[in-house]
Structure 1
């Protein structure tokens, strides 16, 4: 067997392992949903899965978390972390909403910029995400600051900027042309929220980018072995900036969608969203050690997190307990990842 055949066989085996892992997560998702179904009949006396409105709410709720989780997956694959995504959601939502106000609002932040074409507030929100992502990536790539510290600082700065932007005041009376982004529309007779379609579109594009482009190959190479990636000619610093820009733009997009859904914006929007995004990525099989992870896994992980959150609410479990259990799930997912990696290391 020549070298190319051996490499092809290794790739095939790796693809099969990833497929089996994702199928296992899909079975876990089904199992969790069935558990809540049984508990619903026992403790609540009604069905968890039989309520179309509840299922629609689950899908809608996971859309924003899913958009963030996709961006976070890019970052974690490189061996980094992004703690700023939730705060960037709040800042981008405030900026986008300030440019999406109608002329009927006598307290519009920019009276001369009311009733703008919705493309402009959308672009403004994305630009906020791009700038914050570039700053985080630049700090990490050019100064050597650990990603945890760089994005932690950005998290605090972005939240402070969101509060300073209107001195803590909310922004309302957004134009219908802008808020249509957060509404549902009939597709084949079924109401489908547009944020869900945006999330799926982002996931598909990211899946292609990570799996079939040079960008994806460089991203995995940096996370797997930075030294080897540098020796092979990859400009690690430049690529890391690109990765954090992608994550930042997706955070900006999530902020725009959040503002459109609520038809308003508040400085506290997106609080702790970064934790849900990281949890979804880790539950979906993305390794915090870097070099491993797939968007399809993140998609399943996002839905699992949404089902768990909705199930707890359905069973009337308090929010404090939900946070405790969610934290335990994150730790358990990391422990399982460490165990899986140690087994692979022994096997090799």
Structure 2
């Protein structure tokens, strides 16, 4: 008898999360002679460290639910950070392009960063939806192009001298609060709105969605645009945390975001996934990274462990799909 009859999907993922935490707790006592869990500062730090990836992952989750993929989100975050930071500089001699507009209200660079991300996402969505090209190709192209534009934007130099108001977006618990608000908003949007129903319908059966009257192409463009906007928001938070922006920011963040979504139960075949599961997936990645650091295990072993976990999640998803369609 399957445990799925007794536990909803998110509960199963949460149990995996608890298992990972307890495993590191046991290893902490055996290897380090101290607790991993009962450190009052560790959990907030873990959440803070994964907040940016979490924001990106919420957008990526929606793309994957439609049956697509987005490989550009880390690069888009870096480009958005560079442009937003140039609008968020203080009048202290550092302003590079907009010295006459220095000390702008924080809402301006925030809006600019999100807008840059939305434009990149719109391009991804439009190419994917209206040319029939597999989403892997345009988003891979955007990954390279956005990173190149981030380098060109300030000739490879970082953007520094940001206002205190801009830096406040990345200080203290602000990234965690932003991540929580975004997660709650899109949890409701996907679960309770027409947008959510159309997103799941397209991922489950695109032809059936088209026959039922859904404008599949325009909706895909909207989904990719939202994902790009969230990558832009992540870029703003990322550079505010660092109090500067540089072209190399967000490197490989797209893979961590995809990993979090898949670990959280989002199907790479489309049609299935929940924001709550993605949030738990993000936390699992954060615990693994923090736990390996706590145990003083080399970074490269962390990457191997992440890869194995992702592979296991994909194989499990394939198994579930096979069971669903009677293929096993």
Native 8 Å contact 1:108 1:114 kept in 2: no
Cα distance in 2 for partners of 1:334, 1:103 equals 50
155-164 or 193-202, larger mean C-alpha shift: 193-202
1:219-234 equivalent positions in 2, closer than 5 A:
219-234=199-214
Matched, 1:259 2:247: no
Cα distance in 2 for partners of 1:32, 1:222 equals 34
Q: RMSD of the TM alignment (CA)?
A: 1.6
From 141, 163, 188, the equivalent of 1:208 is 188
Cα distance in 1 for partners of 2:6, 2:206 equals 22
Cα distance in 2 for partners of 1:222, 1:138 equals 16
| Deviation (angstroms), 1:241 | 0.3
Q: TM-score, normalised by structure 1?
A: 0.90
Cα distance in 1 for partners of 2:60, 2:285 equals 15
SS at 1:46's partner residue?
A: coil
Residue aligning to 2:150: 162
**Per-residue displacement from partner, 1:46-85 (whole Å, max 9, x unpaired)?**
2111222222210101111110110000000000000000
Cα distance in 2 for partners of 1:42, 1:19 equals 32
Question: Which structure 1 residue ranges, 4+ long, deviate > 4 Å from structure 2?
Answer: 16-19
Q: TM-score, normalised by structure 2?
A: 0.96
Cα distance in 2 for partners of 1:230, 1:345 equals 22
Cα distance in 2 for partners of 1:257, 1:288 equals 28
Matched, 1:327 2:312: no
Native 8 Å contact 1:101 1:174 kept in 2: yes
SS at 1:82's partner residue?
A: coil
Residue aligning to 2:124: 136
Long gaps (5+) in structure 1: 1-15, 185-192
From 28, 32, 37, the equivalent of 2:20 is 32
| Deviation (angstroms), 1:107 | 5.6
| Deviation (angstroms), 1:19 | 5.7
Matched, 1:313 2:297: no
SS at 2:69's partner residue?
A: coil
**Per-residue displacement from partner, 1:169-207 (whole Å, max 9, x unpaired)?**
0111211011111122xxxxxxxx111111111111111
From 121, 128, 148, the equivalent of 2:136 is 148
Residue aligning to 1:286: 266
From 63, 75, 95, the equivalent of 2:51 is 63
| Deviation (angstroms), 1:106 | 4.0
Long gaps (5+) in structure 2: none
From 39, 42, 48, the equivalent of 2:36 is 48
From 61, 71, 75, the equivalent of 1:87 is 75
Matched, 1:118 2:98: no
Native 8 Å contact 1:279 1:330 kept in 2: yes
